[in-house]
Structure 1
Amino acid sequence: MNDLCIELDHRPGALARMGEVLGAKGLSVEGGGVWSVDGRATAHFLFENGAAAAHALREAGIVVHAVNDVLVQRLKQDVPGQLGKIARRMADAGVNIEAMYSDHDHRLILVVDNYAAGREVSEAWERERAEHENNEGGAQR
């Protein structure tokens, strides 16, 4: 999966046009959002095929600033502080989070400035989560 950083015109219909372009090419948005700051609209959207989405958007004259690899995590939604913990681990590893949002499957999507280092943190987080779940399952038997 890939995150696309997209510049949209800050006007009615810009997001609709983007969605129509993608829909006409059979491309589905898997998560993301649009933010407007100081009259500029920037979007980060998740796609199964980022290259195809970027091509379709650029072909339609929509500016795509970047196609990014993403880190995907499933946080324990019932445990407060999960975002702070994973963000702290990224920060302690010198990784800056460029964008963060959820996908349609309630997973945390992170775009980071150092993908290799961020992936190490993400994989360690996932191993610990799996070990914890295995330990909880064994204790409940």
Structure 2
Amino acid sequence: MSARLQDLEVHLPNRPGALADLGQALGNAQVSLEGGGVFTLDGRAVAHYLVDNGPAALAAVTAAGLGTARVREVAMTRLDQDRPGQLGALARMLGDAGVNVLVQYSDHAGHLVLLVPDEHTTACRDTITRWEQN
């Protein structure tokens, strides 16, 4: 696994087997999925997966013709699972810092994965650093 994981976003076709095609394309390209999922709203499926090789993932999805796709950097941290309210507290800190969270999910090891606009990345990472020091 590479040191820096990335988010792969894919706008999947609305048809049976699209998720299978995505999984097979990534598997054939030897891309490991480290977390994420598929979310559907108004009949549109969007996959967000944490991948260990963004360029290879993007190339595989593009070659398979699975739809619009892109790879972006993520910010990651951990929440104390034994303390209710952790997500709300961190999200409040991010919001107060002017960070707009576009996508949030967890990886397979229980880390919180955040995708924010590029212009919010520095503020997000600074906020996470403060969060982790508490």
TM-score (norm 1): 0.87
Q: In the TM superposition, what is the alpha-carbon distance from 1:84 to its structure 2 partner?
A: 0.2
The residue that corresponds to 1:123 in the other structure is: 129
8 A Cα contact 1:32 1:102, kept in partner? yes
8 A Cα contact 1:10 1:36, kept in partner? no
Tell me, in whole angstroms, the C-alpha distance in 2 between the residues paired with 1:76 and 1:42: 28
The residue that corresponds to 2:110 in the other structure is: 106
Alignment match of 1:96 (pick from 93, 100, 103): 100
8 A Cα contact 2:61 2:69, kept in partner? no
The residue that corresponds to 2:25 in the other structure is: 21
Q: In the TM superposition, what is the alpha-carbon distance from 1:52 to its structure 2 partner?
A: 1.4
Equivalences for 1:52-67 in 2 at 5 Å? 52-67=56-71
Aligned length: 128
* Bigger Rg, which one: 1
Structure 1: unaligned runs, 5 residues or longer: 129-141
Tell me, in whole angstroms, the C-alpha distance in 2 between the residues paired with 1:9 and 1:63: 7
Equivalences for 1:32-111 in 2 at 5 Å? 32-111=36-115
Q: In the TM superposition, what is the alpha-carbon distance from 1:68 to its structure 2 partner?
A: 1.4
The residue that corresponds to 1:134 in the other structure is: none
Structure 1 runs of 4+ off > 3 angstroms? none
For 2:108, the aligned partner's letter is: H
8 A Cα contact 1:18 1:57, kept in partner? yes
8 A Cα contact 2:18 2:66, kept in partner? no
TM-score (norm 2): 0.91
8 A Cα contact 1:3 1:50, kept in partner? yes
- Root-mean-square deviation (CA, aligned residues, Å) is 1.0
Tell me the alpha carbon deviations over residues 40-78 of structure 1, each in whole angstroms, 9 at most, x when there is no partner.
Answer: 111111011112111111121123443111111111001
SS class of match (1:90)? helix
For 2:132, the aligned partner's letter is: E
Tell me, in whole angstroms, the C-alpha distance in 1 between the residues paired with 2:125 and 2:70: 19
Choose between structure 1 and 2: higher helix proportion. Answer: 1
Counting aligned pairs with the same residue, the percent is 48
